Structure 1
Amino acid sequence: MNVTKWLGAVLLSVLLMSTAACANTSTQENNQSENETASKESKDKTTAVETGNKSLSNIKVLATGGTIAGSSDSDTDTTGYKSGSLGIDKVIASVPQLKDIANVTGEQVANVGSENVDDALLLKLAKRVNKLLNDDQVDGIVITHGTDTLEETAYFLHLVVKSDKPVVVVGSMRPASAISADGPLNLYHAVKIASTKEAKGKGVMVTLNDRIASARFITKTNTTTTDSFKSLEQGYIGEIAGEVVSFYNEPTRKHTSESEFDVSNIKELPQVDILYGYQNDQKYMYDAAVKAGAKGIVVAAAGNGTMSTEAIKGATDAVKKDVVLVRSSRAGNGIVTHEKMDDEHHFVSSDSLNPQKARILLMLALTKTKDPSKVQAYYEKY
């Protein structure tokens, strides 16, 4: 090989090696740059999820279903819709304005009509609420719920939540698919209330139709109208006008962090049945409830808790079999006063609790005692 050809081969080899080295260096630099970018994006994304807007409250929305998550093929159908057909993500997404007032995240606990909320779901929900409220990153909780039994769930939580942080239960009377659905604004209001410092220590609250009520006193009074939820005798504790949340009253009965009821280790609630009082009612209803395993009976009695002779016979026999008997009223409002008959037959009077709420309190009372005098004290305290 002559010198010229040899030098040419050497130069070509050096050139190829140099090009390969440059390419490898460039690839390493690009890979490093891509990794740094991905790491930064991942870090930024994690930060956004964990902290959101630091100037806003962190509100958790727990969904159980109901009309607020209901839909129908017709936007004029306000009665024949399917409850609990939308997931909480869709419900939250339908109110984009929420992002302006709080860092909102949703969780689907259940998706049923509230007529199907049972004791097991009550316990599951209560335990989840208490766990979340123990988290310093959670400032308040909103619970979406069907309206038919909303007051029962709200009152149960009012008695077993162990925190002063705001808990607001909300529903709607019209499905999400309806013209002028009330759910979106009700949800907005619920988050607004839960984000308000003044809402702390008020116990569990219920909001619909611009009103704020204590779970202790609110009740559903109409089957379909949007102003169905009332706190007739005791009044509301506040209201929302525009963007302003105003509180006027404080609940005086014991609740939440002041309550002695703790369900953290309870797996099953005692069976409590409600029996309706009417003309010509009979003893066999009480016998049947006892036979079916009732540990407590609430009577939705007439007037001031009055009971027929046959009903008293059935109730007295039930008490002799270690069943606690509570007299409430079907009237809808007013106090069922403690009478001489209560002392004679070892009955309990429900104070101002309606039958469905009297049942809630009796279930919890029975986790503590079966002594009628001690149970009576709970009705006077809570």
Structure 2
Amino acid sequence: MSDQHILVLATGGTIAGTAGSATRRDYRPGQIGIAEFLAEIATLDLPAKLEGRQIANIGSEDMGPDLWRKLHEAASEALADPACGGIIVTHGTDTAEETAFLLDQTLPCHKPVVLVGAMRPADAVGSDGLRNFANGVRVAGDEAAAGRGVVLVMSDRVFAARDARKALTSGVDAFRGFPRGPIGHVTPTSLDWFGPAWRLDENGHPEGARYELFTDSPRVPILHAYAGMPTIDVDRALGDGAQGLVFAGFGEGNMPGPVRDRLAAAAESGVLVVRASRVDEGLVDREPDDARLGFIAARALGPAKARVLLQLLLANGVTDPQEAQAAFDRR
């Protein structure tokens, strides 16, 4: 690994959080600025030239379209700079999967882009932030990381943005990947990829961005299924001009009959309706009735990432369910 120039885009989160006590349970995310953070990182003597830029300093529960645009603009500028070898985004874990996937779909793949976070604040016993960051530097400085899209690095594992999800509320081993699991194993001194890069064009070169980032966020609510669900919930979700809807259904995206009928009527009127699942893991495959009802199957995407993709599709002029389905089928 050579001394690559890596830009660190800081957004806050637990990795920049403090509790004021090594054993206190509660803490405040986004308390450490990027200059202070990189001063601490400098003591690790990592083989990289790190430059920091503060995009925000928040808990990631407050992440949203305005900050996504700022982050995307900074990342795009850095990726176009020949002097920049890769990007690390420090981010809270609560919405890391959404930010990672959004950037994955809207940035080119020719240089590494790595999200890192922490499950324990910087001053906690057993804090995982510095190790995750050091691992992120190892990935961001590896040329073989190109062509894999945006990745998320946590607990010595590398996850593709499309696969990554937060599966546990606490503990450093909180992230999982579906359907592929981790795509690599990393420590501050080693990196092993479990397969070749896949985000390549017909000439074998890393892909460009798949979609333009939206300037005005299309309204796409997520509706969560529950036993005895009335159709009025659908009507409320579709209010205020919703252009799409993600239904987090039972099992493989199942829903009560009256709810299905109401969503089919919405699809017929031009609303893109995605069947996802409230279950933690598993595929939501196409069913025989989907074509007739105008539904889109989320496949391996959970509700949160299905919403992000649907927003991107709508913002890029995709309104046909079959065309949208092809995007959900795509790896």
TM-score (norm 1): 0.81
The residue identity in structure 2 corresponding to 1:117 is: M
Higher relative contact order (CA 8 A, sep 6+): 2
Cα contact 2:132–2:156 (8 A) shared by 1: yes
Cα contact 2:138–2:188 (8 A) shared by 1: no
Q: 1:380 matched to which residue of 2?
A: 329
Q: 1:51 matched to which residue of 2?
A: none
Secondary structure of the 1:257 match is: coil
Q: 2:149 matched to which residue of 1?
A: 203
TM-aligned CA distance change 1:242 to 1:135, over 3 Å: closer
Cα contact 1:133–1:163 (8 A) shared by 2: no
Among 256, 281, 290, the alignment partner of 1:333 is 281
Q: 1:249 matched to which residue of 2?
A: 195
**Runs of 5+ consecutive residues of structure 1 not aligned to the other structure:** 1-54
- 2:154 maps to 1:175: no
- 2:305 maps to 1:347: no
Inter-partner Cα distance in structure 2 for 1:233 and 1:90: 37
TM-aligned CA distance change 1:89 to 1:242, over 3 Å: closer
- 2:317 maps to 1:371: no
More helix by share: 1
Secondary structure of the 1:184 match is: helix
Inter-partner Cα distance in structure 2 for 1:267 and 1:366: 12
Secondary structure of the 1:168 match is: strand
TM-aligned CA distance change 1:98 to 1:157, over 3 Å: farther
Identity %: 36
Q: 1:160 matched to which residue of 2?
A: 106
- What are the within-5 Å matches in structure 2 for residues 1-382 of structure 1? 56-78=3-25, 80-97=26-43, 99-241=45-187, 243-250=189-196, 252=198, 257-263=207-213, 266-367=214-315, 368-382=317-331
Inter-partner Cα distance in structure 1 for 2:250 and 2:197: 28
The residue identity in structure 2 corresponding to 1:239 is: H
**Runs of 5+ consecutive residues of structure 2 not aligned to the other structure:** none
Cα contact 1:114–1:150 (8 A) shared by 2: yes
Post-superposition shift, 1:97? 4.1
Cα shift readout 1:4-37 (whole Å, capped 9, x = no counterpart): xxxxxxxxxxxxxxxxxxxxxxxxxxxxxxxxxx
Cα contact 1:299–1:328 (8 A) shared by 2: yes
What is the RMSD of the two structures over their aligned residues, measured on CA atoms? 1.7
Cα shift readout 1:324-360 (whole Å, capped 9, x = no counterpart): 1000011121111111221111011011111111111
Secondary structure of the 1:100 match is: coil
The residue identity in structure 1 corresponding to 2:21 is: S
Secondary structure of the 1:366 match is: helix
Secondary structure of the 2:75 match is: helix
Find the structure with the greater CA-based Rg.
Answer: 1
The residue identity in structure 2 corresponding to 1:355 is: P
TM-score (norm 2): 0.93
Secondary structure of the 2:207 match is: helix
TM-aligned CA distance change 1:131 to 1:239, over 3 Å: same
Cα contact 1:284–1:314 (8 A) shared by 2: no
Cα contact 1:70–1:176 (8 A) shared by 2: yes
Post-superposition shift, 1:120? 2.0
The residue identity in structure 2 corresponding to 1:58 is: H
Inter-partner Cα distance in structure 2 for 1:135 and 1:152: 25
Cα shift readout 1:282-330 (whole Å, capped 9, x = no counterpart): 1112111221221110011010111111211331232233211000011
Inter-partner Cα distance in structure 2 for 1:357 and 1:232: 12
Cα contact 1:287–1:318 (8 A) shared by 2: no
Inter-partner Cα distance in structure 2 for 1:242 and 1:159: 28
Query: Which segment drifts farther, 247-256 or 322-331?
Result: 247-256
Inter-partner Cα distance in structure 2 for 1:232 and 1:321: 33
Cα contact 2:178–2:300 (8 A) shared by 1: no
Figure out how many residues of one structure are paired with residues of the other and give that number: 325
Inter-partner Cα distance in structure 1 for 2:200 and 2:265: 32
